[in-house]
Amino acid sequence: MAAVTDQVKRLFTLSLGDLNPFRREENYVSVDIGSSSIKVIEARTGVHGIEVLNFGSVPTPTSAIHSNMVTEPDMVGEALRGLLEHKGIRARKAITAVPGPAVMIKRVSLPNQSPQETEQAVLLEARNFIPEELDNVNLDFQVTSTAMGNDDVEVLMAAAKKDIVSSYADTLRVAGLTPVVIDVDYFALDNMYELNYDPLENQVAALVNIGSRYSSINILKEGRSTFTGDVPVGGRDITEALVRDLGIPADEAERIKLGVAAGDFDEEQISMALLPAVDALIEEVHYALSFFWTAATDERIDVLYLSGGGAMTPELANRLAERAEAPVEVTDPFGRIFIDEEVDAAALRRRASEFAIAMGLAVRRPVDK
């Protein structure tokens, strides 16, 4: 892409880049900083394509993330540094993502013109859709399609406030890493999907990532992203419902939710507290999906892929399938990925859905290598 004007700093490099499967490269570490945990994957491009060399996670220090921003980069960075040390991860080039809710995303169709003209047109559009001074945001764009039936091309624009983006970059630096790409979690999920699944002709798939404090929705038509949205609910709300209804502390509620302890409760008491919270989460997701149904009246969603730690919530997948009247699968982000023999692959597979975003980030490379 052409150099950007001084007014915008290229931040997100949205393309997958070209992966040369025969070239061994240095290792990169991808870092998914969530409000409940920090997840990392060390990977490189080798003879098997992307190869996972190491992975791990550590709880995020409490109250270190607010309003989609790392408010305590020192604390989070130190926790990350500890995790890297503990796992023996020595890669220093890092890829991370800002949370989707922090990002303004817009798709516009523009005349097919020179890169410089496209950039000017993007700036003009950006002034209209971004409710901020352009000086205060990081903006990037990518031409995503030429198949509009006329001479127009589709351009995907993404913008995030600079202080939010720098809070993530600073966190990596505290941990001794060099941020080389800052992506958006939605796009990382796209890339994870593209690596592992072959979309069928005309298929509409919804990627639904259930995190701790928010869940994101990404609708793909034949593998191309057409709609992104998020809802402010996730696994934390389920734990909080257990705390409230069973009158127990959060750590006990968390263990009960994960099925590792039952405390003093029988199955029925647990279900009675759990299911309404699961259904409330499903309603929120369904509501967000309904925006897609409204915008595209003749479309239906053929399949939903769940990811994120919350994807494993008991009863979530089958109840969501009933509500959305479509099959729901828990995503396997490592289905087609080579996992190095040094890695405890069984442990990774048990928690695979939690690492979906980190895996999607692991394929990103800086454009200017």
Ligand X SMILES: Nc1ncnc2c1ncn2[C@@H]1O[C@H](COP(=O)(O)OP(=O)(O)OP(=O)(O)O)[C@@H](O)[C@H]1O
Q: Which residues bind Mg ion (CB under 5 A)?
A: 34, 211
Q: How far apart are CA 323 and CA 283, in angstroms?
A: 8
CB 126, min distance to ligand X, A? 26
334 contacts which partner out of Mg ion, ligand X, none, CB within 5 to 8 A by kind? none
Pick from ligand X, Mg ion, none: which does 312 bind, CB < 5 to 8 A by kind?
ligand X
Cα 98 from Cα 32, distance rounded (Å) = 9
Contact 241, 277 (CB under 8 A): yes
Measured distance CA(96)–CA(361) in Å, rounded: 7
Binding at 230: pick from Mg ion, ligand X, none (beta carbon under 5-8 Å per type): none
CB of 266 to Mg ion, least distance (A): 32
User: What minimum distance in Å lies between the beta carbon of 257 and ligand X?
Assistant: 5
Nearest residue to Mg ion, scored by beta-carbon proximity? 34
Which of Mg ion, ligand X, none does residue 213 bind to, with CB < 5 to 8 Å depending on kind?
ligand X
Strand partners, 184: 98
> Which of Mg ion, ligand X, none interacts with 236 (beta carbon under 5 to 8 A by kind)?
ligand X
Quote the least distance from Cβ 154 to Mg ion, whole Å: 28
Report the length, in residues, of the chain.
Answer: 369
Q: Name the minimum Å distance from CB 252 to ligand X.
A: 13
* Residue 180 or 277 having the CB closest to ligand X: 277
CA terminus-to-terminus distance, the chain: 14
Where b means 16+ CB within 10 Å and e means fewer, 202-213 reads: eebbbbbbbbbb
Contact positions vs ligand X (CB under 6 A): 34-37, 211-214, 234-236, 239, 254, 257-258, 308-310, 312-313, 354
Alpha-carbon separation of residue 260 from 55, 133, 211, 344 (angstroms): 23, 49, 20, 21
Smallest gap from Cβ 368 to Mg ion, in A, equals: 28
37 binds, among Mg ion, ligand X, none (CB under 5 to 8 A by kind): ligand X
Angle, nearest 10°, between helix axes 73-87 and 162-174? Answer: 40
Can you spell out the DSSP letters for 97-118?
EE-GGGEEEEEEEEE---HHHH
The residue (of 34 and 73) whose beta carbon lies closer to ligand X is 34
Tell me the C-alpha distance between 312 and 306, whole Å: 9
